[in-house]
Every structure is written in C-alpha cells, then in structure tokens.
Structure 1
Amino acid sequence: MSAPTQRRNPFLGRMPLPERNYIADALRTETVGGVLLLAAAVAALIWANTLGGSYEAVRGFHLGPATLGLDLSVQHWAANGLLAVFFFVAGIELKRELVAGELRDPKAAALPVIAALCGMAMPAVVYFTVNSVGGGSLQGWAVPTATDIAFALAVLAVIGTSLPAALRAFLLTLAVVDDLFAILIIAVFFTSTLNFLALGLAAVGLVIFYLLLRKGVRGWYVYVPLALVIWALMENSGVHATIAGVAMGLMLRCTRREGETRSPGEHIEHLVRPLSAGFAVPLFALFSAGVSISGGAVHDVFTRPETLGVVLGLVVGKTLGIFGGTWLAARFTRAELNPELAWPDVFALASLAGIGFTVSLLIGELAFSGNPVLTDEIKASVLIGSLLAAVFAGILLKLRNAEYKKLCEEEERDEDQDGIPDIYELDNPEYHLRMAAIHEAKAAEHRRLAEVAAGRHAGDDGPA
C-alpha cells in the first residue's frame, strides 16, 4: 500500500471574508491616493521644467520656529513631516498584519516575507554590481529597494486592469513588509549625529503615548499634540523623524474585542489613511519629483552608474527578486499555486512591484543629500525606472486581463443579494435553499412570459 501524498498548502488562494473586505477597503483608498500621487508627480515635472525658478523658490522656502530647531524648508517639511503620517499608517498596517492579517501565522507569512526580502536584496545587488563595475558611488544601494503600493494601484486604475483579490492582497503584504525594512534602512543607515537628550525625551513621549493607549484614554486633543511633540523631538534627535510615526502606529491595538466591529487601530487607520494617501504623499511628490527632464538628462540616467543602477534595480532586480523568492519559497514550503492562476501572473505582479516612487525618492534624498545635482539625477532615475516597470507590468497584465475579469466577477457575484459573495457561501445549506428559491422564481417568471407571448401569437394568427 502506497503512502498517502502530503497535501500542499494553497498559495494565492481564497482569503477569509473579513480579511478580503478589509483589504478591498484599504486598496480602494490607496487607488484614489495613487491617482492623486500620479497627478502630483506630473504637476511637479511640468512646474520644474517650465517655471523652474519659482519651483525651486517655493520648495526651498524656510518656515517654522528656529528656536525649536524647526526652521525647515517646504521640501523638508514634506519629506520629514507629511511622510510621518504615511509611515504612521504603515506602522498600523504592519501591526495589523502581524496580529490579525497575513503575517500572524509564521508558516503562512514565510512566503510573502521571503519574497519581499528577495525583492529588496536583488535590487541592492544589481545596484552594487553596476556601480562596482562602473566605478560609481555605492551610497545609493537602498534607493531601488522600495515598492510604492499607491503608485502601483494607480497604474492598474489607469490601464484598466483588474486583479483577483489574492493577487492584490499579496501585493499589499509585499508592500507592508517592504515598508518595514525601508524603515529599518532609514533608521540604521541614514541617521546623522545623535542628540541624545532629544532622543531620550522622544522616547519618554512614546512611553507616555503607549501608557495612555493602554489606559484607554480617548480624544484626539490628547494624542495629536503629544504626537507633534514626539515628532519635533525626533526631528531634533538626528534620527529620521518619520520613525516617530512608525513607532506610534505600532503601538495601536489592532485586535478586536467582544462587541467591537473594528479595533482602535483599524478605526484610526480608516480615518488617517485618506489624509495620508490623498494629501500627505501627493504633496511630498509635488515637492520632490520636480527634476529637469531633457535629452541630456535622460542620456545621463542610462550612462551614469548610480542612475543606471537604480533603473536596473527597479526594473530587473525587483522583478527577479520577488518572482525568484516566491518560486523558491513555494517550492521548499510545498505551497501549491492556486489552480486558477499561473506563475506568469506572479511574474507580472513582481514587475509591478518595481514601481518604487515615494520611499525611493526619500531614500535618494537622504543618500545623496550633500550632492544636489546627483540627487536630482537619482530622482530622475527613480521616475524613469518606475515608468519602465509600469509599462512592462501593464503589458504583462493586459495579456491576462480577460481572465482576471472573469475571476473578479466570480469573486464579486452575489445572486441572493445578502452582501456576502456567493463563493463564501457554497458550504452553507441556507445559501443553497435561497438560491433554489431564486432560480425557481426566475423559472416561473420565464414560464409566465412564455405563456403571455404564446397567447399574443395565437391572437395575431386568429380571425379578425
């Protein structure tokens, strides 16, 4: 008697309904924010290449109390202030994924985590290789490691491509893990000289923030002023100020208690995400993406090792890293791909993750802060690399768009109109009774219409 074969775990299969609904809501907001982000980037490019003097004057304008160490340029406020809101949301997303989402089960989390790590390591390897051979600076190794989920979803919206829920969830999980390691990279590799007094006071502020949360204290008028103080102290400490946003996001409770329809973390994320996606990130893009794009500048992007390393890291490194990491992880964890999908779908998704806009621009500014000319060239390479990745992914996804639409329609079908997609009710006897009643009612209506039509036809043929 042969030994029973070991059943493999499904990969990119159907998600639990609450998780699916949460992700659908989150991605809906990110898609709108992504379109605004795309519009802001285009506006920045037009502004910088038509009225460059006014653009530089506005983003270089300083404001803020100098006595508090906050006399910062508009560009600095956007990068360190507004992006703290973005990283606050990222912190909540990460916390939720760890306690209630795809990352709560170590076995299930292994595959997306490995894919994300490979998707960050391979671009860094590509950049390192190009600049080692070409004699360029190795400071920008982290620039092509980031994925911009909002920009990727904006591309999907613009080209009109649907993605099944499992692929969208996988993309979001990749982005969450990606954000975590981007945060660690910023904290470890781009921290200037430390002001230990300011850092210590920021830590005290975070402890107070945590204790207030655990005591159940409510009221935005308590937390918003405290958050601003913590951010200001972190800004003066030498640690990048966005770390404060992440830390506070991670402190929120993201598990539901009895009687709660959503956890405090989910509630606050629902309130703050539109502010992040619709205002903070687009405004950052407006004051960071404005670089001069000319024939000479584009030529330099493809000939200078630093910028070529960024482009190849985003387009080639991200795709090969995520796809290769996913394939190897699935092979060694015995995870079987959803039979409704194919490995080319994963490859297309990996190429879409090569769009590394927001965090890549931020890391580019940090990596080459002492060289404004190279900073602008690195930004141009991020724009061009993200554009190439978007075009490549768009072509691959369009090839399967008809199949994706069928899968999406099947996922959304709700014939009994009870608010729950039918695929989640197939094992529910009550669902089958409701569907039988619906089909019987439809059949009776068809019979009645047929009898009416037959009667009219008989009347037409009869004597006048």
Structure 2
Amino acid sequence: MTKPKGIQEFARYLRTETTGGLILLAATAIALLWANSPAAGGYRALRDLTLGPHVLHLDLSVGDWAKDGLLALFFFVAGLELKRELVVGELSRFKQAVLPVVAALGGMIVPALLALTVAWGSPGIDRAWAIPVATDIAFALGVLALTGSNLPGSARIFLLSLAVVDDLGAIILIAVLFTASFNLVAAAVAVAALALYALLQHLRVRSAWLYVPLAVITWVAVHSAGVHATIAGVALGLLTRVRPDPDEEEAPAIRLEHRLQPWSAAVAVPLFALFAAGIELDAHSLAEVFTTAVPLAVVTGLVVGKAVGILGASALAVALRLGERPRGMGWRDLAALSLLGGVGFTVSLLIAELALPSGPSDRAKAAVLLASAIASLAAAVLLLRRNRVHGAAGGSGAA
C-alpha cells in the first residue's frame, strides 16, 4: 500500500542529515535545560524508571532502554550503510575504500593514545581511553550539509564511510571492554538467530512477519549474553542483502534504510541523547573538565587527536599509494573533515556511560559535549571557507 504523499515527504525530510543533526541538537538542549531546571528531579525519576520483565534481565531503566534498545536501531541503519558502501558503493573499489578505513583507524588510535598520555595513572582511564575514539554520524553529516553544500559529493561519502567504520570499531571496543560476564547459551542463540537471518536473506524471503521477531530474538539473546545489545543491530545490518534481484526495484538493505533511517534520526538517537546528555552543568563542573585528568583527556582526544589521526593517516595512505584522495577534494578539504571527526557525541556518550561510574561519567559526558561543540564550530569555519572556494571554482576548488 502506497503511503500518502505528505507522509512520504515528511520521511524524506527526516532522511536529510541537516534535519537529523538539528533534532539531535534540540534533544541535547532539552536534556541539559531539563536536568538543570527546578524539574530536574522529574527528569532523573523518568530516566531511572524501571520497565520490562525481570526474565532475561529485561527489567531496564528508561535510560537503559534508550541506550541498549533504541541505539540498536541506529546501529542497524549504520550497518546497512556500511554494507551498501562496501558492496555497491564507493568502498567497493579497493583504493577508494582504503583511505576512509585507514583514516578511521588513525582517528581511533591517535585519540586513544593521547587520552592515555594525558590521564595516565588516573582512576578510570583504563576504560575511559575509549571515549574519544568515536565520530557521530548524524551530527557530523549535519554540520557538513549545513556548511559544505558546494563541496564534491565525495566529501560526504568519505565522512560517512569514515564515521561508519569508526563506529563499528567503537562497537567492537564496547563488546571487548564492557562485557562483564558472558552467557554461552544466550550467545549460541544469538549466533543461531543471525545464521537464520542470513539464510532467509539468501533464500530471498521477504516477510516482515519473520524478520521482525527474529531481530527481536537476536537483540534479546545478545543482551542476555552479556554483550552490549547494539552489536545485534550492526550484525543484522551487515547480513542484509544489498544487491537487488531482477524482479526487485530496490534491494532489502536500501528499502530498510529508507524506511528506518527517519525513525533512527527522529526517534532513536534523539531519545538516547535526551536521557544521556542530561547532566548537571555549572561553572564548577565546566572548570573540572579542564582541571580533571580524564575529562581533559577526552577533550584532547576528540579535538586534537581526531584531527591529527584522521589527516595524518590519510596523508600516509596516499603517500604510500595505498589509497586515493577522494575525487575533487584537496588536503584543506580533508583537514576540515578531519576536524569534524572530533564530533564524538552519540557513541562517545554511550562509552562514557559504560566506562565510568555516575559522577566521573557526568564529567566525561560534559567533556564530550564541549569537545563536540569545539570540533563542530572549528570544522564549520574551515568548511565555510572551503565551500566558498569550491563555489567560486564551480565545484572544482580542491587545493
């Protein structure tokens, strides 16, 4: 059944990066205002309200449902995007694929090393070093869409590919660092459910009545196994078919991405931000970001480490002829995008929650928000300059 035109247009509007970034920013602002208002008690009560059955450890707080449940949808869409790019997109060409992958690795390793250097020996840094490794897809692409409309399309593809690989790496870190206990039976159920999903994709089964319960079973099994439940979303996305059959207008991955991306952008990620970003901010807590080792390490890792790691790894890959610079882009364009990689936000907030207890976690979250603001503003200034150059040159202003 065809959706009404108004609903289709609204969904298309929600699929734009600008809209997703603005909704995410609005949710963050609401969280901060709410958590620092006279109604802060109501915010904390709602965030900590427990819902769900005790069986299979599903009696989670509202904040945990947002973190474990809604973000699984976000990572499912990210997995679909990564699979599409790897199989039929820009990353299907080896030399085009190498650069964002190497850049993502540089953008993970350098921030982690910087964070460890800045906060070496401080309590919590043994896990908090992972906080600045992630790049927020929605927010970073939103800033690019707002400030870099004249840049070549390869800029968006490079940033998207880098951010998706980056977040996949962050999810692997979450699985390794934050799996306290491991249930072999639940893990076996998860593997079996994923295998069945892959088989149904191979057999060209298209019924949502099979896939939706199977996705829920996979999520519950991964959660019960002790692994962070967002892993289920990435795994299901990577197993979804991206090449259409002759009788199909769109492949399942493309169809699902179009249907679910608006829900991810308008519901899943903003609700996570609403319950994750609600920290108490005052002059003292902001000062602690720059006077306490771990928050300072997070800021340094995101603002400095990301830019140096992404640009440095890209330059090394091109110099060694392992990868090619994106079409139509110069090193100044890549420098601006490298700064934009410092917008950690969603996944960095998630890792901060997982890595640290409540007090230090709030300071680390404040550091993530502050660093993301600094990185996005600095990148926006550079992107606006590059945007004018490309506009004046008719889109060929790479230099």
- Tell me the TM-score normalized by structure 2: 0.90
Name the residue aligned to 1:458: none
1:275 aligns with 2:263: yes
5+ long unaligned stretches in structure 2: 1-11
1:38 aligns with 2:25: yes
Name the residue aligned to 2:203: 215
Q: Which amino acid aligns with 1:277?
A: A
- Which whole-Å CA distance do the structure 2 matches of 1:338 and 1:104 have between them? 14
Name the CA shift for 1:339/1:155 in 2 (closer, same or farther; >3 Å).
Answer: closer
1:29 aligns with 2:16: yes
The alignment-based identity, stated in percent, is 50
Q: CA deviation at 1:218?
A: 1.9
User: RCO higher in 1 or 2 (8 Å CA, sep ≥ 6)?
Assistant: 2
- Which whole-Å CA distance do the structure 1 matches of 2:148 and 2:164 have between them? 24
Name the residue aligned to 1:376: 362
Name the residue aligned to 1:285: 273
5+ long unaligned stretches in structure 1: 1-24, 412-464
1:185 aligns with 2:167: no
Residue by residue, what CA displacement relative to the aligned partner does 1:406-428 show, whole Å, maximum 9, x if unpaired?
467789xxxxxxxxxxxxxxxxx
- Which whole-Å CA distance do the structure 2 matches of 1:293 and 1:219 have between them? 48
Q: CA deviation at 1:242?
A: 0.9
Name the CA shift for 1:88/1:335 in 2 (closer, same or farther; >3 Å).
Answer: closer
Kindly report which structure 2 residues correspond to 1:38-437, keeping only aligned pairs within 5 A, or say none. 38-50=25-37, 51-132=39-120, 137-157=125-145, 162-333=150-321, 337=325, 341-368=329-356, 371-406=357-392
Name the CA shift for 1:98/1:342 in 2 (closer, same or farther; >3 Å).
Answer: closer
How many correspondences in the alignment? 385
Residue by residue, what CA displacement relative to the aligned partner does 1:21-78 show, whole Å, maximum 9, x if unpaired?
xxxx899533321111111011100110112211110000001112342111000000
Q: RMSD in angstroms over aligned alpha carbons?
A: 2.3
Name the residue aligned to 1:4: none
Name the CA shift for 1:194/1:337 in 2 (closer, same or farther; >3 Å).
Answer: closer
Q: CA deviation at 1:347?
A: 0.7
- Which whole-Å CA distance do the structure 1 matches of 2:121 and 2:184 have between them? 40
CA contact (8 A) 2:15 2:262 kept: no
- Which whole-Å CA distance do the structure 2 matches of 1:136 and 1:64 have between them? 31
Who wins on radius of gyration, i.e. which is larger? 1
- Tell me the TM-score normalized by structure 1: 0.78
- Which whole-Å CA distance do the structure 1 matches of 2:182 and 2:68 have between them? 16
- Which whole-Å CA distance do the structure 2 matches of 1:364 and 1:339 have between them? 36
Q: Which amino acid aligns with 1:78?
A: A
CA contact (8 A) 2:96 2:323 kept: no
Q: CA deviation at 1:247?
A: 1.2
- Which whole-Å CA distance do the structure 1 matches of 2:130 and 2:336 have between them? 23
- SS at 1:240's partner residue? coil
Q: Which amino acid aligns with 1:37?
A: L
